[in-house]
C-alpha cells in the first residue's frame, strides 16, 4: 500500500467553499475535462445529527497510459463512488471516494475534508486530502509496486491542477453571487424594475 497526502488553504470562507464544492466539476472548472459526468444517487439529512449525506457517481474519461491498461485491461471510462458528509454545525465537509472500475485489481480510497482554517476561520478554508492505494496482482510484487507508484504520481500531478480548477470555480461563484446581490438591490431600489419584474 502507498499513501498520498496533502493539505492546502483556500482564501474563501467555509460557506463559499462548501457550496462551490458541488460545482467543482462543472463548466466553470477548465482543469478537469476528464470528469465527464457527476450523478447524485441519493441525498438525506440525518435527523439525529443534522448531517447531509450525499452519494454520487463520478464518471471519468480513462487516462491511464498503455502499459497500465495493458495490465489492467482497457476501458473507456472509469467510475468512482463517493459519499460525502456535511456537518453544518461543526462546519466540516468530508468526502470519501473509491474506484468502482478495476476494483478487483487496485483499490484507491480517498478521504478529503474542508474545514475553516484554524488561523483565520472566517476567511480561509483548509483542504486535506489523503489517499490509500493498494494494488492486488497476486505474487507480482514488481508490477504491484509500479502500479501503486504510478497512481501516487498521478495524485501528485493532479493536486496542483485540482486546486487551480477549484480556484476558478470559487472565483466565478463569488462573482455571480455579487452580481445577483446587486441585481436584487437594484430591483428593490428601482420602481421601473419592480414593475418589469426581472
Partner 1 sequence: MSASLAPECNEVKERYDNCFLKWYSEKFLRGTSTSDECEPLFKQYEQCLTKALRARGIDSMLKDAREDNRDNDAEHMKPRR
**Which residues contact partner 1 by CB under 8 A?**
15, 18-19, 22-23, 25-26, 35-43, 45-46, 48-49, 51-53, 55, 57, 59, 79, 81, 83, 85-86, 88-90, 94, 96, 98, 100, 103, 111
CB of 13 to partner 1, least distance (A): 10
Q: How far is the C-alpha of 24 from the C-alpha of 32, rounded, in Å?
A: 9
- Least Å distance, CB 191 to partner 1, is 26
Minimum separation from the CB atom of position 189 to partner 1 (A): 22
Q: Which residues face 5 on adjacent strands?
A: 130
Handedness of CA 23, 121, 3, 163 (dihedral sign): positive
Looking at the Cβ atoms of 88 and 121, the one nearer to partner 1 is 88
CA quadruple 155, 160, 163, 169: dihedral sign: negative
Residue number with CB closer to partner 1 (124 or 146): 124
Kindly write down the DSSP assignment for every residue of 101-155, as one continuous string: TTTTTEEEEEEEEEEE-SSSTTT-EEEEEEEEEEE--TT-HHHHHHHHHHHHHHH
* Nearer CB in complex with partner 1: 61/145: 61
Taking the least distance from each CB to partner 1, the nearer of 2 and 24 is 24
Q: Which is nearer to partner 1, 78 or 151 (CB)?
A: 78
- Residue 22: CB minimum distance to partner 1, A: 6
> Which residue, 96 or 146, is less far from partner 1 as judged by CB?
96
Distance in Å from the first CA to the final CA of the chain: 57
Smallest distance from partner 1 to CB 67, Å: 25
Where residue 9 falls (left for φ over 0; alpha for ψ -120 to 50; beta otherwise) is: beta
Least distance in angstroms from the C-beta of 11 to partner 1? 19
d(CA 53, CA 36): 23
CA of 22: how far to CAs of 15, 38, 66, 81, in Å?
12, 10, 32, 15
Amino acid at each position: 500500500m502507498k499513501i498520498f497526502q496533502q493539505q492546502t488553504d483556500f482564501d474563501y470562507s467555509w460557506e463559499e467553499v462548501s457550496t462551490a464544492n458541488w460545482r467543482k466539476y462543472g463548466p466553470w472548472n477548465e482543469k478537469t475535462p476528464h470528469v465527464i459526468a457527476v450523478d447524485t444517487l441519493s441525498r438525506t439529512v440525518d435527523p439525529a445529527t443534522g448531517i447531509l449525506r450525499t452519494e454520487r457517481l463520478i464518471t471519468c474519461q480513462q487516462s491511464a497510459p498503455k502499459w497500465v491498461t495493458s495490465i489492467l485491461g482497457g476501458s473507456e471510462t472509469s467510475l468512482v463512488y463517493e459519499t460525502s458528509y456535511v456537518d453544518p454545525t461543526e462546519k466540516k465537509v468530508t468526502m470519501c471516494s473509491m474506484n468502482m472500475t478495476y476494483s478487483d485489481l487496485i483499490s484507491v480510497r480517498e478521504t478529503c475534508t474542508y474545514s475553516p482554517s484554524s488561523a483565520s476561520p472566517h476567511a480561509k478554508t483548509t483542504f486535506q486530502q489523503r489517499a490509500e492505494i493498494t494494488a492486488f496482482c497476486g505474487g507480482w510484487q514488481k508490477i504491484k509496486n509500479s502500479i501503486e507508484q504510478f497512481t501516487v504520481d498521478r495524485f501528485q500531478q493532479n493536486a496542483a491542477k485540482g486546486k487551480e480548477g477549484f480556484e476558478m470555480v470559487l472565483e466565478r461563484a463569488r462573482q455571480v453571487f455579487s452580481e445577483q446581490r446587486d441585481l436584487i438591490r437594484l430591483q428593490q431600489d428601482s420602481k421601473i424594475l419592480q414593475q418589469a419584474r426581472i
